[in-house]
Structure 1
Amino acid sequence: MNGLPAKDDQAGWRVLFDELNPRVRGYLYRLLPDAADAEEIATEAFATAWRTSERFTGGNVSTWIFGIAINLARNRRRSWLRRLARFTGLTPDIPEGAVEDNADVDERAALVKAAVQRLPEGLREPLILTAYSGLSHQEAGEALGLTAKAVERRVASARDRLRLDLLASSA
């Protein structure tokens, strides 16, 4: 889709949602440990895009919506960690993005997903946006507020860490 539909163009927003939602949802499935959160945040990203469409300054619509989804996911994670700390009185000591086991995923895919979840957020997000969601380094950089070169370096670093992690787990 080229450009953002007018706020009152329901058909245009439906087309935008139908085209981008699978990619945004797929990105969030890999970023977040809970599939229900991923679904909810994907939908919320499009609702936020519609509600704040006057803030869109042009450029790539998908990059803008991915940026909204990234910010919503970060906010959800921070909120969850604050609630956990408030209820337990402790700062949570959990791995970055703990992974749920999915019976429908083979063992190798589960190992890769776990390894991706263990990556620091600064490496995980660019990797998922480029390798899984199909964004270019430039588009991922725009969504994350980084240069294309920074995304390229972070993706290379993420791949190196994944390779080492997977080799260690198979030994």
Structure 2
Amino acid sequence: MTEAIDVGENPARKPDLEKLMAAVGQGDQEAFAALYDAMAGPVFGIVRRVLRDHAQSEEVAQEVFVEVWRTAAGYRPERGTVTTWILTLAHRRTIDRVRSVESAAARDHRAALLARTPEFDEVSEQVEARFEREQLRRCLQSLSEIQRQSVTLAYYEGLTYKEVANTLSTPLGTIKTRLRDGLIRLRDCLGVTA
């Protein structure tokens, strides 16, 4: 059974916050009301100084007192005063809110940037692909006939080097040399850097 706490109506007399906290830790609602009356101003003040928004400050202050109610049994006087403990909770909650607001703003900013990103331009992609194909055809025409045949069979028909050699009735080593030389010439013609 909890000891009755005098929460008195005398404003000149400060309540004993440690006794109130002990009673709150045991579920005493009257003690919590008295603790709230004593600490609401300082909690709101610290929150308001950081957040500046009145509505958010009230919301965070309310969250602080909900946390005080839930965790009052965990308060240890040897670690600091009740005022310090509650104001530390308020400060932490306030910082969490600032981070949450900043994170939401960053997400909104990224979403806005994505919304402004131009959609895939299919026409320009098709024009660019057509230009690249034409350039490749022109470069293939610059190869010798045997190089062009070797490259076409290996890279467009999907034949292995051995199959290209059999198809062209040419030794495998010769095909490898023609392919290497043909690819070097294509690279140079297309302006690709190695």
TM-score when scaled to structure 1?
A: 0.49
Which of the pair has more CA radius of gyration?
Answer: 2
- Greater relative contact order: 1 or 2 (C-alpha under 8 angstroms, separation 6 or more)? 1
* Structure showing the higher helix proportion among its residues: 2
